Amino acid sequence: MTLRDLGFYLRGRVNRTVAQLVNVRRPAPALSLSLEELLRERRPSLLDRVRLLEGRSNAERQEMVARYLAARGLPFGRHPYATFEGSGENFSLDVGAGDSTLILIGHHDAVPGSPGANDDGSAVAILLGLAERLFNDPPRRLRVRVLFTGGEERGYLGARCYVKTAALERVLGVLSLELCGIGDALAVWDVLPPLERAPVLQTFVETLEGLGYRRDETYHVAGRIPVFGSDHRAFWASGIPAFGLTVVPAAEGEALRQFIFNPVRTALRQFVRRPAPFNTYHTSRDRSETLEPAALERTADALFALVHSL
């Protein structure tokens, strides 16, 4: 194990321990939507897809992703992994036939005691819907790889295992979706120099502005986040431009800056009020009724536009 992997492992242990402490008292269990119920809907919403995973165990969440992809006739690859840190399975599907690849990630696991609606059922739902949309309207110049990872809450375990075996030579960028179900502003984060000049990021910025987003108002580009992270960080050692993507309430902008970029204050405020979307993050309150359908649709539309702009 490298020092880098050890750091990720320890991060995951702390992550899960804090969640267990926060979620000692649990409310009534969330009511999941069965796959059969979802498939009976003529036009299932993204929020319906969130409810497919909500409140289930991590093993069940993983199974639901695979069953949904199979039921929809979407060809996908299975990538099981097993280490002393844990075991699980990643799923990937490719759309398009370009020479370069954009990887979009959502993790299907959740922390103990949390229904996992926004973290990260929102991302999985968005990417399930986007995959179907892209199969009907595939990009001509680009290959999109939609990657559903396990073990993100264990220090990006699934993503780390995937990176060790995947062919990444033609990957032009990675976006990892986190907390995409609450808010009206998009935030791209972990933008480190010199990656702020990466073509995939520049194209995303141009795409957002073409959709009417305004920098520092309805979209943000942020540097390294000191406490929080996601699966894209597993790709950094390969030199690939890799960033996080989150939706936040524009009205909470200043409160979020204070919360996120002050690690000491963030640690102290784990057990008190936190600004949205972190007020439900890793808690038993992370339920589908707290999500905003418009936030889910907003993210899906922005990604669809990005794919067709690259």
pLDDT tens for 159-191 read 999 999 999 999 999 999 999 999 999 999 999
Whether the predicted pLDDT of 275 surpasses 70: yes
Cα–Cα distance, 199 to 152 (Å, whole number)? 26
Cα–Cα distance, 122 to 114 (Å, whole number)? 14
**Residues in contact with 30: Cβ distance below 8 Å, sequence separation at least 6, in sequence order:** 54, 55, 115, 117, 287, 288
Q: Residue 290 burial (CB < 10 Å; 0-12/13-18/19+)?
A: middle
pLDDT at 261: 86
Q: What is the mean pLDDT of the chain?
A: 91
Rounded percentage of the chain residues whose pLDDT exceeds 90: 80
12-26, 255-269, 286-300: the lowest-pLDDT one: 12-26
For the record, the structure tokens of 12 come out as 């995951």
Cα–Cα distance, 218 to 249 (Å, whole number)? 9
Contacts 24+ apart (CB under 8 A), 192-199: 192/223, 192/224, 195/241, 195/243, 196/221, 198/172, 198/173, 198/241, 199/172, 199/173
Q: What is the mean pLDDT of residues 70-75?
A: 97
Model confidence pTM above 0.85 = yes
pLDDT at 301: 98
pLDDT tens for 99-143 read 999 999 999 999 999 999 999 999 999 999 999 999 999 999 999
pLDDT at 9: 52
Give the pairing type, strands 86-95 and 242-248: unpaired
CB 264 within 8 Å of CB 90 = no
For the record, the structure tokens of 284 come out as 């038993």
pLDDT tens for 237-266 read 999 999 999 999 999 998 899 888 885 665
Q: Can you tell me which residue has the tokens 């409810």?
A: 51
pLDDT at 194: 87
CB 79 within 8 Å of CB 149 = no
Cα–Cα distance, 127 to 225 (Å, whole number)? 23
Cα–Cα distance, 158 to 113 (Å, whole number)? 20
Whether the predicted pLDDT of 274 surpasses 90: no
pLDDT at 182: 98
| Cα radius of gyration rounded to whole Å, the chain | 18
Cα–Cα distance, 67 to 37 (Å, whole number)? 13
3-307 homologous superfamily = Zn peptidases (3.40.630.10)
For the record, the structure tokens of 306 come out as 């990005």
* pLDDT grade for 5, boundaries at 50, 70 and 90: low
